[in-house]
Structure 1
Amino acid sequence: MNDPGILFHLATAMTAALVGAFIALRLRQSVIVGYLLAGHVIGPFTPGFVGHTGTVESLAEIGIVFLMFVVGVQLSFRELVRAGRVALLGAAMQVPLTIAGGFGLARLADFTFLEALFFGAVVSNSSSTVLVKVVAERGQSDAGSTRTALAWSSVQDVSTVLLVAVLSALSTAERSHADLTETLWKSALFVGVLVPLALFALPRLFVKISALRNREIFVLAAGCVALGMSYVSAQLGVSAALGAFLAGAILGDSHLSHRIVGETMPLRDVFSGLFFVSVGMLIDPHFVLRNVPLVLFGTACIVVFKGALSLIIARVLRSSWTAAAMIGATLAQSAEFSILMARIGQSLGAVSDKVFNTMLSSTALSILIAPHVARAAQPLGRWLARRNEEDEAPPPALDDHVIVCGYGRVGQVVTGLLHNSDVPFIVIDEDEHVIRPLRKAGGRALIGDASRSFVLERAGVARAKMVIIALPDQVVARQVIEHARTLNANIAVVARTHSETDRRRLRSMGINEAVLGEFELAFELGRRALGAAGLASEAIEAAIENARETLHS
């Protein structure tokens, strides 16, 4: 066997992906960057070993299918509705405006009509994968602006599927009138026959398969549905990615969706990694060096134009300046679906190699700088808030009350307990949409940045007996502590924290308690375990208190 075959190429690409992902994680970068660099190393533009591009690309197509299938399964329209009008209307406004703006800018850069359309579509999408990683590293996963940005990104994912279908049809139409006619009747067959048939058959099929209680058959069925729908869609002239997404979305509303995601996620992770490796093999460093202005132009469209547009739209929809800045910053990047659209444009012949490499290089650069852009969001939001200060009437005066900073999931639980116990409290949060239900229910709340002293003054910190910091950002937490203690030296302060290092830092500032979520979860699990073992309540509480003192000593 002189030809190493597909197994060798698969092993090579997967090993490169593993090494690249490991190095990226060690450098605190997105694994997508690691995949791209790994592909670049084994690609034809670098010396040394060269992987077989055609084989890796064929394997990567499977990655696209499973990536879109899992996105479809995970998509919950109920969650999108609950995210509110900022995410739904914001994305609905941002995507077409970004496409239009990107199209216009690209035309000024001498792109063809179709190239400019694909460029605008590439710019319009943001990566949920990169977004989640960036906010998790900053300890902001529970923030209201994070949930809004994630919902916003989910709407973008839906638009991506539609854009793939529309742009594919336009690319085909430009070649000949006969192609357009064939595309239209095949699309009608897809919509009128395949989709209704799938809606009827797929949920019932998986109920019967689940009843067999056999994991292997369930996994095989999920894989067959994803690949089968993709193949049939491709044969009907519709994007294979669209077929996979629709199959996932149909199954996403079933009670088995969680199991489908759990069983197919490993397949998605492995093969989608190969997709990025295949894209990395196409990155030409000589092109980047020869076209630095063009690459910077593409990156500026993704980061500056899209980020600023998202910020403005979020603000128009009445988000606070800080929340709008965070939404804009976390959406100011592109990754998997943008690369997918660029790759489709190239494969259809609608995008030249020069424009493709521009989109590819700009997308990779936007991923690299995403953490730094997110880090600048909060200072930018505060600066905008100071320059555009909006006076809000202070709530009625309170005495001996509790100030709760942050009204996310943690803050809502805390205020619920306070309300049920008739303890007076006031909430401070930057997101008006989060605050509105509380105000409608008769609760007291201020819209503003809790780390600013005049906001704490309006909340009556000088007369309050306690401040509870339910905000995930530890920098903000430290600023709240400093201002609260300056304005009221005797006030009790309790804060949430995410690590032992942060807990010790906050305790060194003299607060009464810094609550580490993982410890409290462990204590509660331990309490349940000891109760199940038959220990008396007094013994259980004594054991937990002893463990608490040991950990906090």
Structure 2
Amino acid sequence: MHGEAISPMMSDALVILGAAGLVIPLFARFRITPIIGFILVGLLVGPFGLGRLVYQFEWLSYFTITDPVRLEPFAEFGIILLLFSIGLELSFNRLWELRRLVFGLGALELLIIGSLLAAFLSMLGQYWTGALGLGLALAFSSTALVLPMSGTTNPVGRAALSMLLFEDIMIVPIIFLLGALAPYAQSDGMTGLFDTLWQGALVVIAMMVVGRFALPRLFALAARAKSPELFLAASMLVVIGASLATALVGLSPIVGALIAGLLIAETEYHTEVEGIMEPFKGLALGVFLITVGMGIDLTTIWANLWTITAAVVGVLTLKALVTGVLLRMMGARRSTATETGILMASPSETTLIVLAAATQALLIQPGTAQFWQIVTAIGLTITPLLAKLGKHMARRVEPAPDMTQAMAQDGRPRVIIVGLGRVGRLVAQMLDKHDQPYIGIDSDSDLIESARRDGYNAIFGNAARGDILDKLGMADCPAVILTMDEHILAQSLVRRLRTAHPDLPIIARARDSYHAAELYRSGASTAVPETLESSLQLSEAVLVDLGVPMGPVIASIHEKRDEFRERIQLEGALEHKPKLRTSTAET
């Protein structure tokens, strides 16, 4: 009786929430992307995993998902929220700047890869219509996995975004094309395509016109109410309404979600919307990845191991080579072309949709579709590994510049800045303004590439390695500035540098006064708490606006800063953490 009272939907929710609660922290502990974890959970709890044993052990039904179809709407919603969040990070101006890449690089990448795969499959005996459907399906790359790994602001992210945007635009025309190629297709197949295109264009234009006027007012009302729930409801209303509008005229709902994100990105409320939607996007994307894992049948893979392995390797290699060559032809650096090509080699969640459309149109047999679905699921699973391989190969084909040359441009000792994010760049700008030579180091290759392009003296390297900073000339270095937002790494570096160089000035960024006290205990010459500096700047601004003369204000700010610094140094020397936390709260 009690077992019957629990609905399958509740059981599925228990499995999904349990997976999210276990997978994310466990894989984060070992610095492994949760993407692999969610796919492995799907493999374990799906119909090809423990789900096989439900009929023998009924209690397993509470910990497995035997019907993946129930999760498909939630998985689709995860993709919709992902495209919505991507739109929030973009703007219409940025899209216009990417137009050459979207309709040039994106079109060439999809058409060339699709044609080559279709030709190869046709040579293996697949009829040409089925080969074309398979080729186009396998040419897609995963928007859901690639963009969170690549970002959208660095060269790799911009190239990947351009190609993925074109692929998303082409989903509907390709599905219509497969329907027109079906053996039973009627003459109105292309007419349906044209109807969808002009109706979709009208809907998109209407959304853009109405959204520019309505969305700022909608979110302004939500902001005045000061209710996070109302802000969430307004965000959900916009993304679901936009997705339904494009779906009703035959376009993909992800097109509507992307446009909704772009429209909100033009308003002043996009940061708040992005923060509110982030948890829902992550959970919904996790559901999608679990459904991918459910489609992997290990017994089928084992029975066709060599064939499936050859298919996976062949498809990934072809896509990586074509994408990399196209990027090089369009002027991309070798490192960017290499990393983007390998990352974009992964198949896509859209591949599964196009395969289903080709099967429904009788262009390919169900057994053939199942084989390529397994290939796609394996490719999605190893996408995080492709991302790591791409970064490694990018550094191999275009290594970082020689450190000695970077240090010896004018023979003067240089300040070393560890971390070239927003804080490190600002420090570098101030040093440069006052003619103080510096060199920046960071372990993020994309960030270093962007910094060098913007004119900063920067090199790639992991400062946690003991020999890297020594190669930069620590013996003659006038000062080291630590700007990273990783308190454990900062403390470790301060401790090691102070031991090796007792007289070296070490200036470190701290999160708060408690962290600053820890850095002082580790040996920092100066620790600058972000919370303290923001408070002092706010105080300075309000005093000046109230008419207090600038001179006394600046003097009082310096006095208060010295007072806080002495207090933090004293607390650090006392090494009494419970008392420190109390005094920090009082501060």
TM-score range, shorter chain: 0.7 to 0.9
432, 448, 455: which one aligns with 1:419? 432
C-alpha contact 2:116 2:135 (8 A) present in aligned 1? no
Shift of 1:289: 1.9
Shift of 1:322: 4.9
Shift of 1:231: 3.6
Would you say 1:223 and 2:229 are equivalent positions?
no
Closer, same or farther in 2 for the Cα pair 1:434/1:8, shift >3 Å? same
**1:489-500 alignment, distance < 5 Å:** 489-492=475-478, 494=480, 496=482, 498=486, 500=488
Residue aligning to 2:12: 13
**1:395-434 alignment, distance < 5 Å:** 397-402=409-414, 409=422, 411-425=424-438, 434=451
C-alpha contact 2:431 2:437 (8 A) present in aligned 1? yes
Corresponding residue SS for 2:476:
coil
Partner amino acid, structure 2, of 1:490: D
Residue aligning to 1:463: none
C-alpha contact 1:229 1:244 (8 A) present in aligned 2? yes
Partner amino acid, structure 2, of 1:168: I
C-alpha contact 2:88 2:261 (8 A) present in aligned 1? yes
**1:276-315 alignment, distance < 5 Å:** 276-301=289-314, 303-313=316-326
Closer, same or farther in 2 for the Cα pair 1:234/1:4, shift >3 Å? farther
Partner amino acid, structure 2, of 1:296: T
CA–CA distance in structure 2, aligned partners of residues 506 and 104 of structure 1 = 59
**1:300-379 alignment, distance < 5 Å:** 300-301=313-314, 303-313=316-326, 321-322=334-335, 324-334=337-347, 336-338=349-351, 342=355, 352-377=365-390
Closer, same or farther in 2 for the Cα pair 1:74/1:363, shift >3 Å? farther
Would you say 1:57 and 2:72 are equivalent positions?
yes
Would you say 1:173 and 2:180 are equivalent positions?
yes
CA–CA distance in structure 2, aligned partners of residues 99 and 110 of structure 1 = 17
C-alpha contact 2:105 2:162 (8 A) present in aligned 1? no
CA–CA distance in structure 2, aligned partners of residues 125 and 18 of structure 1 = 28
23, 35, 38: which one aligns with 1:35? 38
Aligned length: 510
Residue aligning to 1:254: 267
Residue aligning to 2:255: 242
Deviations 1:469-512 (A, max 9, x none): xx57446x644324235xx7434563645352575267536364
Closer, same or farther in 2 for the Cα pair 1:3/1:480, shift >3 Å? closer
Closer, same or farther in 2 for the Cα pair 1:416/1:212, shift >3 Å? closer
Corresponding residue SS for 1:536:
helix
Closer, same or farther in 2 for the Cα pair 1:43/1:251, shift >3 Å? same
Shift of 1:421: 1.1
Closer, same or farther in 2 for the Cα pair 1:401/1:543, shift >3 Å? same
Would you say 1:207 and 2:220 are equivalent positions?
no
Would you say 1:435 and 2:459 are equivalent positions?
no
Partner amino acid, structure 2, of 1:148: P
C-alpha contact 1:225 1:247 (8 A) present in aligned 2? yes
Would you say 1:76 and 2:91 are equivalent positions?
yes
Closer, same or farther in 2 for the Cα pair 1:524/1:61, shift >3 Å? closer
Deviations 1:214-271 (A, max 9, x none): 5555544443443344444334333333343334434443334334434444444444
Residue aligning to 1:125: 141
Which stretch of structure 1 is more off in the superposition, 308-317 or 272-281?
308-317
Shift of 1:525: 0.5
Residue aligning to 2:550: none
Shift of 1:174: 1.7
C-alpha contact 1:73 1:248 (8 A) present in aligned 2? yes
Residue aligning to 1:151: 158
C-alpha contact 1:303 1:333 (8 A) present in aligned 2? yes
Which stretch of structure 1 is more off in the superposition, 199-208 or 162-171?
199-208
Would you say 1:183 and 2:192 are equivalent positions?
yes
Structure with higher RCO (Cα < 8 A, 6+ apart): 1
Shift of 1:194: 1.7
Deviations 1:406-453 (A, max 9, x none): 866455323311121122456799877753553xxxx8x58xxx4xxx
CA–CA distance in structure 1, aligned partners of residues 469 and 205 of structure 2 = 58
**1:137-148 alignment, distance < 5 Å:** 147-148=154-155
Closer, same or farther in 2 for the Cα pair 1:85/1:258, shift >3 Å? same
CA–CA distance in structure 2, aligned partners of residues 104 and 350 of structure 1 = 15
C-alpha contact 1:530 1:540 (8 A) present in aligned 2? no
Between the aligned residues of both structures, percent identity stands at 18
Deviations 1:282-323 (A, max 9, x none): 333232222223432343256444444555555556665555
Closer, same or farther in 2 for the Cα pair 1:274/1:350, shift >3 Å? farther
Partner amino acid, structure 2, of 1:508: R
Residue aligning to 1:275: 288
C-alpha contact 2:509 2:529 (8 A) present in aligned 1? no
Higher CA-based Rg: 2
491, 504, 527: which one aligns with 2:492? 504
Structure 1 segments unaligned to the other structure (5+ residues): 136-140, 451-470
Partner amino acid, structure 2, of 1:32: I
Shift of 1:153: 3.0
Q: RMSD over aligned Cα, in angstroms?
A: 4.8
Corresponding residue SS for 2:529:
helix
Residue aligning to 1:454: none
CA–CA distance in structure 1, aligned partners of residues 144 and 318 of structure 2 = 19
CA–CA distance in structure 2, aligned partners of residues 514 and 107 of structure 1 = 64
CA–CA distance in structure 1, aligned partners of residues 188 and 263 of structure 2 = 29
C-alpha contact 2:137 2:350 (8 A) present in aligned 1? no
C-alpha contact 2:156 2:340 (8 A) present in aligned 1? yes
Residue aligning to 1:458: none
Closer, same or farther in 2 for the Cα pair 1:414/1:126, shift >3 Å? farther
Structure 2 segments unaligned to the other structure (5+ residues): 55-60, 517-526, 540-555, 578-587
Closer, same or farther in 2 for the Cα pair 1:217/1:433, shift >3 Å? closer
C-alpha contact 2:413 2:476 (8 A) present in aligned 1? no
> If the length of structure 2 is used for normalisation, what is the TM-score?
0.69
Closer, same or farther in 2 for the Cα pair 1:543/1:336, shift >3 Å? farther
C-alpha contact 2:200 2:250 (8 A) present in aligned 1? no
Corresponding residue SS for 2:452:
helix
Partner amino acid, structure 2, of 1:47: L
Shift of 1:125: 1.7
Shift of 1:148: 2.2
C-alpha contact 2:295 2:374 (8 A) present in aligned 1? no
Residue aligning to 2:545: none
